[in-house]
Structure 1
């Protein structure tokens, strides 16, 4: 099966400092996380200091890059099956 993203839901996970979203391989849910630092760099006006960014800022940055994030998630998923995936800056190079 192919990894798909039919559910547009995403949320900010404070404990991981990342945005969580889900992909689906058939009937199996595959959890993904994108580090906040990746999204901070992509946000408008975001500086190197992430402390002034809100949860809404990270979610907006995710929404703006959703297609690219899904592409990176598909690539990470194709490299081997895991229980969850943390996408970092190195995955976006």
Structure 2
């Protein structure tokens, strides 16, 4: 089974200035972390506060999911960083 993203949830981490989202490979949950700089590179007009980054993430969601699918390799790793 390929990596799927049935859950549209995402979460902002102010300490790390990043957005987390989750994918699933069968029953395994895979965590993806997208740093604020990456989101800004996709949406240069986005602000740097939580609301702005989450909004920019939502607007770029399909592109970020595509990047996540390319990074993902089935195996023991369950955490990926997109930067």
- Name the TM tier (shorter chain): 0.7 to 0.9
More helix by share: 1
**What TM-score do you get using the length of structure 2 for normalisation?**
0.87
- State which of 56, 61, 67 in structure 2 corresponds to 1:72: 67
Structure 2: unaligned runs, 5 residues or longer: none
Equivalent pairs counted in the alignment come to: 83
Instruction: Point out 4+ residue stretches in structure 1 off by more than 4 angstroms.
Output: none
Structure 1: unaligned runs, 5 residues or longer: 47-51, 89-93
Residue of structure 2 equivalent to 1:14: 14
**What TM-score do you get using the length of structure 1 for normalisation?**
0.79
**Cα distance, 1:16 vs structure 2:** 2.2
Structure with larger Rg? 1
Residue of structure 1 equivalent to 2:32: 32
